[in-house]
């Protein structure tokens, strides 16, 4: 069904496909749970440097952006590194961005940390409104990625109330470098870009759910999940086809084991992670009465790389039990055990209910080369590392679902929502 942005034809086909797959694999209680979603559509886009010399730019509208006028939007470009740098510039020179295109050019590091995805991505989310508040007419950002291909990385953005909505697009990393070099020459650099995109009427998508019944406490649940939707530039094979594959196959292996775990293992293929998180939010509210019986939730949403271990978020008393469970991954050489920061975006709405969250830590050193680009396609998935990650997930989920005593909940003080 190809790309699966919420509300698109591919997304509409994905739910029934997932349901039929889970049924064919022998899961029980297989169902589609409706998820109301906002819909945004990309039709066409193009851009070029106009001055000092004509040069095409590889760019993509950010998800949620308004379109430009049909003839495009042309203005001089002002470069800033970050949201903070924009503030500093505007304070010093209040009209610096008026009538211009603000170009955010913040580099992302492959090694994460201070310049990792989490640090850079707020520019994508909030840059348009921050620039518009300073009088900008449009926004370009350096793609949030680590490759050197001339392929832009899309991703979600949002508008603040009370600020004009200006068109926002990501330029490929080489094009960001080109723009920056031109601007450094000191003469005005003008860009023209055209985005044909925008919001469409709301639609209903679906979370796909299936279960392996627990042998002793079937009403207690361990969720293992991925998200079924994807961005629209590639086919969403690594984000998050791979995660769905890991979740489904881990649960299938558990169901096929000679002795099922004590608790029910529930596969959830979430809708609309990328462009609104409606799938995760709807799951948490639709299942609220049942959440006290959620023993844990896992999500695989880091591509198809080998697992290097696990992360967890539960009551501090869980440390010894988690360490014991994590030892199951030693034969897979996945020995890292990290406390905190666990759980993907879709399971993050469970945090405020204290549901213990787990993450499969994976080698994601190449993940952001392809993430949200036209290059997110099946050839990037290595069967060997995918199998290893699946084995790790199966072992972790089985062990948690089979614990004689449930893990302690996440303490009240640590239930603040993580970045989505
Ligand atoms: Zn994802």
Q: How far does the centroid of ligand 1 lie from the alpha carbon of residue 198, in Å?
A: 22
Q: How far, in Å, is the centroid of ligand 1 from the Cα of 226? A: 8
Centre of ligand 1 to C-alpha 358, Å, is 16
Flag whether pLDDT at 17 surpasses 80.
Answer: yes
pLDDT of the residue at 417: 58
Dist. CA 310 → ligand 1 center (Å): 18
Instruction: Quote the pLDDT of residue 68.
Output: 98
Supply the pLDDT for residue 414: 87
Residues 410 and 324 in one domain: yes
- Domain identity same for 181 and 59: yes
Mark which of 188, 216, 250 sits at the end of a domain: 188
Domain membership flag for residue 373: yes
Q: Do 145 and 286 belong together in one domain? A: no
Q: Which residue, 165, 408, 130, is CA-closest to 295?
A: 408
Q: Is 45 a catalytic residue?
A: no
Judgement on whether residues 220 and 82 belong to the same structural domain of the protein? no
pLDDT digits (tens, 9 = 90+) for 137-170: 999 999 999 999 999 999 999 999 999 999 999 9
How many whole angstroms from 247 Cα to the centroid of ligand 1?
13
**Same-domain status, 389 and 244:** yes
- Give me the pLDDT at residue 419, please: 45
pLDDT of residue 113: 82
Span from the CA of 65 to the centroid of ligand 1 (angstroms): 20
What is the structure's pLDDT at 385? 98
Residue 395 has which token pair?
Answer: 């072992």
Considering the domain architecture, whether residues 77 and 217 belong to the same structural domain is answered as no
Output the pTM of the full model.
Answer: 0.96
Angle, helices 83-92 vs 117-133, to 10°: value is: 30
DSSP string, 29-87: EEEEEEEEEEEEEEEEEEEEEEESS-EEE-EEEPBTPPPPPTT-EEEEEEEESSHHHHH
Domain-located, residue 24: yes
Q: Are residues 399 and 349 in the same domain?
A: yes
User: Are 22 and 82 in the same domain?
Assistant: no
Residue owning tokens 């993509």: 60
What would the pLDDT profile of 49-84 be if each residue is shown by its tens digit? 999 999 999 999 999 999 999 999 999 999 999 999
Domain count for the chain: 2
Task: Please say if the pLDDT value at position 172 is more than 90.
Answer: yes
C-alpha 389 to ligand 1 mean position (Å): 16
pLDDT at 420: 38
Q: Which of 45, 273, 274, 299 is catalytic?
A: 273
CA–CA distance, 171 with 47 (Å, rounded to integer): 9
Question: What pLDDT score does 86 carry?
Answer: 98
Give a yes or no: residue 314 inside a domain: yes
Ligand 1 centroid, distance to 88 Cα (angstroms): 33
Summarize pLDDT for 363-402 with one digit per residue, the tens: 999 999 999 999 999 999 999 999 999 999 999 999 999 9
Q: Let me know whether 228 and 253 are in one domain.
A: yes
Average pLDDT, the chain: 96
Same domain, 248 and 359: yes
Q: List the CATH number of the domain containing 403.
A: 3.40.630.10
d(CA 351, CA 128): 29
Residue where one domain finishes, among candidates 188, 209, 236: 188
Does 409 map to a domain?
yes
- Residue 245 domain-assigned (yes or no): yes
How open is the CA angle 334-111-349, to the nearest 5 degrees? 70
As a residue count, the chain comes to 420
The two tokens of residue 184 are 């450094």
Assess whether pLDDT exceeds 90 at residue 97.
Answer: yes
Question: Does the pLDDT value for residue 104 go beyond 60?
Answer: yes
d(CA 101, CA 57): 14
Handedness of CA 20, 25, 31, 35 (dihedral sign): negative
Provide the token pair at 243.
């995660």
Please indicate, yes or no, whether residues 398 and 334 belong to a single structural domain of this protein: yes
CATH number at residue 74: 3.50.30.30
Q: List pLDDT tens digits, range 229-248.
A: 999 999 999 999 999 999 99
Tokens of 128: 């348009």
Q: ∠ CA 359-366-248 to the nearest 5 degrees?
A: 40
Among 188, 217, 246, the domain-final residue is 188
Whether 193 maps to a domain, the answer reads no
Amino acid 315: pLDDT: 92
For residue 109, being part of any structural domain is answered with: yes
Is a pLDDT exceeding 80 seen at residue 418? Answer: no
Full domain range(s) for residue 24: 9-39+201-414
Q: Is 230 found in the same domain as 158?
A: no
Is there a domain that residue 195 lies in? no
């Amino acid at each position: 069904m190809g790309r699966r942005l919420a509300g698109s034809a591919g997304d509409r086909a994905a739910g029934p496909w997932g349901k039929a797959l889970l049924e064919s694999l022998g899961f029980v209680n297989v169902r589609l749970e409706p998820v109301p979603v906002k819909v945004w559509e990309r039709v066409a886009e193009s851009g070029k440097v106009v001055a000092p010399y004509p040069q095409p730019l590889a760019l993509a509208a950010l998800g949620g952006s308004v379109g430009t006028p049909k003839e495009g939007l042309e203005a001089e470009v002002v470069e800033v590194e970050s949201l903070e740098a924009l503030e500093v510039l505007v304070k010093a020179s209040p009209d610096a961005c008026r009538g211009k295109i603000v170009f955010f050019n913040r580099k992302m590091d492959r090694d994460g940390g201070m310049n990792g995805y989490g640090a850079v991505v707020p520019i994508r989310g909030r840059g348009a409104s921050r620039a518009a508040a300073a009088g900008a007419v449009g926004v370009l950002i350096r793609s949030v990625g680590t490759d050197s291909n001339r392929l832009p990385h899309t991703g979600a953005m949002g508008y603040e109330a009370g600020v004009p909505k200006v068109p926002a697009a990501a330029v490929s990393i080489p094009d960001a470098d080109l723009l920056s070099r031109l601007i450094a020459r000191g003469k005005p650099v003008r860009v023209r870009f055209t985005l044909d995109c925008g919001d469409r009427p709301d639609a209903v998508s679906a979370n796909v759910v299936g279960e392996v019944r627990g042998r002793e406490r079937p009403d207690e649940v361990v969720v293992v999940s991925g998200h079924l939707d994807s961005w629209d530039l590639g086919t969403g094979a690594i984000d998050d086809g791979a995660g769905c594959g890991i979740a489904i196959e881990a649960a299938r292996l558990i169901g096929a084991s000679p002795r099922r775990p004590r608790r029910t293992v529930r596969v959830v293929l979430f809708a609309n992670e990328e462009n609104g998180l409606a799938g995760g939010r709807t799951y948490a509210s639709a299942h609220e009465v049942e959440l006290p019986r959620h023993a844990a939730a896992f999500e695989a949403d880091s591509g198809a790389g080998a697992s290097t271990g696990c992360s967890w978020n539960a009551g501090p008393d869980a440390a010894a039990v988690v360490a014991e469970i994590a030892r199951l991954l030693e034969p897979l050489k996945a020995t890292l055990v990290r406390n905190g920061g666990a759980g993907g975006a879709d399971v993050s709405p469970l945090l405020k209910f204290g549901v213990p969250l787990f993450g499969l830590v994976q080698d994601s050193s190449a993940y952001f080369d392809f993430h949200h680009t036209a290059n997110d396609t099946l050839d990037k998935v290595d069967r060997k590392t995918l199998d290893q990650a699946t084995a790790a997930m199966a072992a972790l989920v089985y062990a948690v679902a089979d614990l004689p005593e449930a893990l302690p909940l996440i303490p009240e003080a640590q239930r603040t929502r993580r970045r989505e």
